[in-house]
Structure 1
Amino acid sequence: MSLSVNNSESKRILVAGDVMLDRYWFGEVNRISPEAPVPIVRVQKREERLGGAANVARNAVALGMQAGLMGVIGQDEAGNSVEALLRESGIYSYLSRDPQISTIIKLRVIGRQQQLLRIDFEERPTENVLRDKLNRFNALLSGYDVVVLSDYAKGSLNNVSDMIAAANAANKLVLVDPKGHDFVRYAGATLLTPNKSELKQIIGDWSGESDLTEKAQSLRRELRLQGLLLTRSEEGMTLYTEDQVTHVPAVAREVFDVSGAGDTVIATMAAMMANGMSMQEAVLIANRAGGIVVGKLGTATVTKEELFT
């Protein structure tokens, strides 16, 4: 496909949500522990990457956009690492420091190119920090073209309804990657991007495509969404809008790691829509981006060159 992104440097995406630090420990596995039936990993290499909402911003920058990031981190060493990675990536940081919590960390132990263990460290932000964050969000809105709200249910988006209302009042596109059992708080967003398990929590199981379409369209109308994009892993993606249902089959390739694939999809949708594409056009590109990124290890990005050459 010969599509390209024009003037993307002038488009700005504000990402808000749960910010994480992804840590990877790579090593050799040659024996089982005598203490318990578990492999012993001799760590040889360590990496740190931006995770959660920060990975969305990183993907937007990889596509040539300008990105600002809002979220909460701790007053700790991991928070310092997040700030340093943001500087390296060219992402504008509007992060709030909460001295009463630790930065969210996902530690993955990799042996022989396989994930053996993931350890999560997380605490919910305090109310005072979240209140200040909402005020800052309102102040930043005018400088951005598109808003992406990346909800990992870690507490940073407890004011998400107010944020959507403010973005709508400022005539901004609002894309939301949702979580949880209640999508009502995302009402009024431009586009919601749940995966299959997330959507099933809201509408229950479906008996076939027609049943799924009926339930998805009913939810979309109920929440006053312009679009509902269902990401379906090996089944591809389906976009529900008022006028049509657009299904895009998955790109056939080996799946290596699905970590952060949803971040790549929503960042790509935001980048394409910011540059004037319709949702139907954007989903074709986002589907390709998702297919590329699952072939990479860990939270990763897709570049314009990979997408358009």
Structure 2
Amino acid sequence: MHFPIETIKTKKILVIGDLMLDRYWFGEVDRISPEAPVPVVHVARKEDRLGGACNVARNIRALGAQATLLGIIGNDEAGQKIQALCHEADIVPHLEIDAHIDTTLKMRVLGRQQQLLRVDFEQKPRMDTLERLNHQVRACIDHHDVLVLSDYNKGVLTQVQGMIAYAREKGIPILVDPKGNDYQKYRGASLVTPNRTEMMQAVGAWHTEDELTQKANKLRDDLHLDALLVTRSEQGMTLFAKDGRFHEDAQAHEVYDVSGAGDTVLATLAVTRATDMSWEQAIGWANKAGGIVVGKLGTSIVTAEELI
């Protein structure tokens, strides 16, 4: 199966969603605190990475396509860092600043590569900031080949239905990474990609593959989707499309860290579908990319060279 890197380089992908900064503090642990029964981490190295929808855009660039990122940040150090990292990754940022909120930040403390603690900072954006962002949406969609919606339930995609309707009207494929149990807001998208837990939240538990197929196809029909992809960790991933069911077994040789793996899968699907690749071929590449990225520490990327 050929990875069409030269065609991918000509494609423009728009990512809209919840932006995050993933901050890592790495250190050594050699004693327990005398103040409380907790490890003392002597921090030796710090690293910031793009997270959330930013990580989807970063993976799209790593795979060779052009990426534009639309979202909201706060007027703070974390927001400035996201802008700087976007420029470093050659992502085109269209970021609205909400001075009344903190940029979503996930800070992880690791001792000897083992995560000991995560501290989250997040606030939902104000309505006036969402309105400013929505004024940019149509103009941005008009100049791109694929729309990717990365929903982490932080508030940026509150008015997602209008984005989907406009992109569909323009004939632009819409790929959605969902959150929550109300999938009606994603009606009309081309593809929705819940993981196993998210799928159970949306349709309830299943006990057999036939039952999963029945529930998945009903959800796909109800939402007027072209396809539904359920990512299933060690069980691989299963696509339910109008022309059939396609399954890919998991390819990871060693699972080190699953954080951000869904972003990599979504990005790979976006760039391959932008080239008019079939769903079956696209999930083959997405499965391979997912198998590579879970072998890396933290929020990471997969490059076109690694896939090839």
TM-score range relative to shorter protein? over 0.9
The within-5 A match list for 1:91-110 is 91-110=91-110
| Post-superposition offset of 1:20 | 0.4
> Which residues of 2 match residues 13-28 of structure 1 at below 5 A?
13-28=13-28
Instruction: Please say if residues 23 and 106 of structure 1, whose CA atoms lie closer than 8 Å, have aligned partners that are also in contact.
Output: yes
Amino acid at match of 1:294: V
* Pairs within 5 Å for 1:36-47: 36-47=36-47
Query: Is the CA contact 1:72–1:125 (under 8 Å) kept in the aligned structure 2?
Result: yes
Q: Gaps spanning 5+ residues in structure 1: where?
A: none
Residue 283 of structure 2 is matched in structure 1 by 283
Residue type of the alignment partner of 1:128: D
**Contact map agreement 1:179 1:198 (CA 8 A) in 2:** yes
Q: CA deviation at 1:134?
A: 1.1
Q: CA–CA distance in 2 between the matches of 1:184 and 1:246?
A: 24
Structure 2: stretches of 5+ with no match in the other structure: none
Judge conservation of contact 1:6–1:275 (CA < 8 Å) in 2.
no
Tell me by how many angstroms 1:18 deviates.
0.2
Distance 1:166 1:31 in 2: 57
Q: Secondary structure at the match of 2:221?
A: helix
Report Cα offsets for 1:22-70 as digits up to 9, x if no partner: 1000000111112111111100000000000000000000000100000
Residue deviations 1:141-160 (CA, integer Å, cap 9, x gap): 11100000000000010011
Q: What is the CA distance between 1:123 and its match in structure 2?
A: 0.3
Which range is displaced more, 246-255 or 18-27?
246-255
Q: Partners of 2:252 and 2:128 in 1: how far apart?
A: 47
Correspondence list, 1:286-301, <5 A: 286-301=286-301
Distance 1:199 1:38 in 2: 36
Looking at structure 1, the residues matched to 202 and 26 of structure 2 have their Cα atoms a distance apart, in angstroms, of 38
Deviation of the 1:172 alpha carbon: 0.4
Alignment of 1:186-265 (within 5 A): 186-265=186-265
Deviation of the 1:5 alpha carbon: 2.5
Q: 2:252·2:290 contact (CA, 8 Å) conserved in 1?
A: no
Secondary structure of the corresponding residue to residue 87 of structure 1: helix
Q: TM-score normalised to the size of structure 1?
A: 0.98
**Code of the aligned partner of 2:49:** R
Secondary structure of the residue aligned to 2:5 is coil
* Alpha-carbon distance in 2 for matches of 1:171, 1:201: 30
Distance in 2 between the 1:267 and 1:78 partners?
A: 23
Q: How far, CA to CA, are the matches of 1:18 and 1:266 in structure 2?
A: 15
> In structure 2, the residue corresponding to 1:267 is in which secondary structure?
helix
For residues 305 and 102 of structure 1, what CA distance do their matches in structure 2 show? 36
1:137 equivalent in structure 2: 137
Aligned partner of 2:122 in structure 1 is 122
Please list the CA deviations of residues 180-220 of structure 1 after superposition, one character each: whole Å capped at 9, or x if unmatched. Answer: 12000000000000001001011100011000000010000
Number of matched residues? Answer: 308
Tell me the distance in 2 between the aligned counterparts of 1:188 and 1:117. 39
SS in 2 for 1:67: strand
In structure 2, how many angstroms separate the alpha carbons of the residues matched to 1:167 and 1:124?
A: 25
TM-score by length of 2: 0.99
**Residues of 2 paired with 1:299 and 1:105: CA distance?**
13
Which residue does 2:163 correspond to in 1?
163
Q: Match of 2:32?
A: 32
| Residues 224-263 of structure 1: CA deviation (Å, up to 9, x unaligned) | 0000000000000000001110010000411001110000
* Root-mean-square deviation (Å): 0.8
C-alpha distance in 2, partners of 1:9/1:255? 30
Secondary structure in structure 2 of the residue aligned to 1:7: helix
Say whether the 8 Å CA contact 2:252–2:295 is kept in structure 1.
no
Shift of 1:8: 1.7
What amino acid is the match of 1:157? L
% of aligned pairs identical?
Answer: 55
Partner of 2:255: helix, strand, or coil?
Answer: coil
